[in-house]
Amino acid sequence: MLYVIYSEDVPNSLEKRLSVREQHIARLKEMQNQGRLIIAGPCPAIDSEDPGASGFTGSLLVLEFNSLADALAWADADPYIAAGVYEKVTVKPYKMVLPA
């Protein structure tokens, strides 16, 4: 089943994000290689694809897991959590309708 993982950053998280970004992206690439990643990306803090020093306010992921418990465990192990990037993480089941 698919799950949406929506994470909200602490204020001024850019330096923390950059410190562990490589590990964060490696986990996502592993999911992509397994065919379990639908979409992944950050939410810019300003209306720009490249927010520069303004940074980001959070991230949106849609991934496939066997259960909500598996999705929660995977989200909890994100390097961004250990680095203090995220203030809040929400994990919910997700039903994709389009594109079909």
Over residues 9-34, the pLDDT tens digits come to 999 999 999 999 999 999 999 999 99
Res. 100: pLDDT tops 90: no
Domain coordinates of the chain in residue numbers? Answer: 2-94
Q: What pLDDT digit, counting tens, does each position of 20-75 carry? A: 999 999 999 999 999 999 999 999 999 999 999 999 999 999 999 999 999 999 99
- Supply 35's token pair: 């065919």
Which of 3.30.9.10, 3.30.70.1060, 3.40.50.2300, 3.40.50.410 is the CATH number of 2-94?
A: 3.30.70.1060
